[in-house]
Amino acid sequence: MAYVVTEKCIMCKHADCVEVCPVDCFYEGENMLVINPDECIDCGVCVPECPIDAIEAESEDNLKWLEVNREYSTKWPSITQNKPAMDEAEKYRDVPNKFAELFSENPGEGN
């Protein structure tokens, strides 16, 4: 079991979640963060930190996000410190289907 970041994070990246993770298993893309599900210890402390409820426990209903998190956590740099959300975060907060229309495969800066 693991926790996964869902598409709500895309274009928002509030990053409040990363500082509380005891095993530093968040990774940063250009416009989304992901969790490495093999490193996540299933503690759940990141969940209430996300202001837009973008983090969910792995389940039958979000296998797509499990695969996205697994794939890109091996391609993107680690992020362990909070940073300001993206400039467009409020505008994109409740936009649906962000993965299909907005997701970037490019890595973020990490820190």
Residues that bind ligand SF4 (CB under 6 A): 3, 5, 9, 12-17, 20-21, 23, 25, 33, 35, 40-46, 49-50, 52, 54-55
**In whole angstroms, how close is the CB of 60 to ligand SF4 at the nearest point?**
18
Query: Which residue, 25 or 68, is less far from ligand SF4 as judged by CB?
Result: 25
In the chain the beta strands, taken as DSSP E runs, fall at 3-5, 26-28, 33-35, 55-57
Residue 10: name the closest of 88, 78, 111, 63 by CA: 88
Q: Please check whether residue 2 is in contact with residue 41, taking contact to mean a CB–CB distance below 8 angstroms.
A: no
**In whole angstroms, how close is the CB of 81 to ligand SF4 at the nearest point?**
12
**In whole angstroms, how close is the CB of 107 to ligand SF4 at the nearest point?**
15
Query: What 3-state class would DSSP assign to 34?
Result: strand
